[in-house]
Structure 1
Amino acid sequence: MVQAFLSCVTTGNVKVQWNVCHALSNLFLNETLNLQDMDWAPSVFSVLLLLLRDSSNFKIRIQAAAALAVPSSFYDYGNSFSDVIQGLEHILENLGSDQISAPSSFKYRVALEKQLTSTMLHVLSLASSTDHQPLKDFLVKVSISKPSFLEEWFKMLCSSLGESATQPESENNFENQKKQMISKAMRSLIEVYGGGNQQTIAKKFKMLDNSIW
């Protein structure tokens, strides 16, 4: 079944590719699969990252990003966890350079950015649970670069949080959920950097986290 899904990605039309991403999202929800033990899992994650990076259809990219956020622990990503984080970081960093050829794609741009943000926050919140050194080295590398993409990205997210006192209750709930997701991801990174003797970087993220509460 999974091989049929993967085949459809390369041979199917836009609707078929979207359906494949949706089907894989549902497949990831089946905890009895022991996803991390499946020999086809790396191929599935690679295909989703490929669609998210290269598809010209924004609805497919949104669904691929949503599927990548379904696994609930870093164990479920298996050996692909590091690849998923690195792939998402690269896509986010280069999102602004995307060429949008179809006018109909513009209205999906914001939705794609929101889903990418949600997916990235989800996987980063799991980063402190793994001892995978190449992943930690990567997270340090992107945080000591000038300018630091992750630091600037989190600053942007923190500044996008509204003043809850002036918003309706429904919007307050959404803002609180968003704040919690951002904080959880930053605290995960603080653990990664603190454990890797990168106290200066950890301190910057601590200050950011404190600023939103």
Structure 2
Amino acid sequence: MDWASSVFSILLLLLRDSSNFKIRIQAAAALAVPASVLDYGESFSDVIQGLVHILENQGSDHIASPSNFKYRVALENQLTSTMLHALSIASSSDHEPVKDFLVKKASFLEDWFRALCSSLGEKSCQAEVENNKFIENPKKEMIHNAIGSLIQLYNCRKNHAIAQKFDKLVNSIQ
């Protein structure tokens, strides 16, 4: 759609600049709705770059009001989920600037995934039991899919050393 790029731009602006964390959470959630790179249209590159830049600057985020403090964890969780979704489909992108950007940001992404994997803890390394049924940890599966997509992307770009680092990461969470 012609208007799609405007919508994605507005969502990225809201996610980055809104002082209301509930709005930021909803913007991040909306950015994770498209199921494929094609659904993002020409905006996929902007979305990936925007999410990475927001994650890089997440520590410098100032809480404007005490009412936002209680939503900080929810925002971090939604932002993580949205980033994992976008990265999991990134390898299917034909847009060279996206691939170049992800190669350039490999070091940051490796550190981010390492922290994310360590946050899984011991509990998530095993199947969880819910109502007498074994279920896999959905966050672990999302991380696995996103790293797998990056490995594929880095191998296609002939960055095998980077791909091997991410392969070690994915093996550490299995």
| TM-score bracket for the superposition, by shorter chain length | over 0.9
Counterpart CA distance in 1 for 2:41 and 2:8 is: 10
Name the amino acid aligned to 1:210.
Answer: N
In structure 2, the partner of 1:103 is 66
Normalised by the length of structure 1, the TM-score is: 0.77
Counterpart CA distance in 2 for 1:107 and 1:138 is: 33
Radius of gyration: which is bigger?
1
Counterpart CA distance in 1 for 2:142 and 2:12 is: 22
In structure 2, the partner of 1:45 is 8
Identify the match of residue 87 of structure 1 among 50, 58, 78.
Answer: 50
SS in 1 for 2:70: helix
Identify the match of residue 144 of structure 2 among 183, 187, 192.
Answer: 183
Normalised by the length of structure 2, the TM-score is: 0.93
In structure 1, the partner of 2:108 is 149
In structure 2, the partner of 1:169 is 129
1:161 CA drift (Å): 1.3
1:157 CA drift (Å): 0.9
Counterpart CA distance in 1 for 2:128 and 2:35 is: 31
Answering whether residue 37 of structure 2 is matched by residue 68 of structure 1, we say: no
1:131 CA drift (Å): 1.5
1:163 CA drift (Å): 2.0
Counterpart CA distance in 2 for 1:196 and 1:107 is: 42
Counterpart CA distance in 1 for 2:173 and 2:119 is: 10
Counterpart CA distance in 1 for 2:127 and 2:49 is: 36
Counterpart CA distance in 2 for 1:166 and 1:197 is: 34
Q: 5+ unaligned residues in a row in structure 2: which ranges?
A: none
Counterpart CA distance in 2 for 1:192 and 1:138 is: 11
Mark the CA change 1:39 to 1:166 in structure 2 (over 3 Å): closer, same or farther.
closer
The structure showing larger relative contact order (alpha-carbon pairs under 8 Å, at least 6 residues apart) is: 2
In structure 2, the partner of 1:207 is 168
Counterpart CA distance in 2 for 1:134 and 1:166 is: 38
Counterpart CA distance in 2 for 1:151 and 1:198 is: 14
Across the aligned residues of Structure 1 and Structure 2, the Cα RMSD in angstroms comes to 1.6
Higher helix share: 1
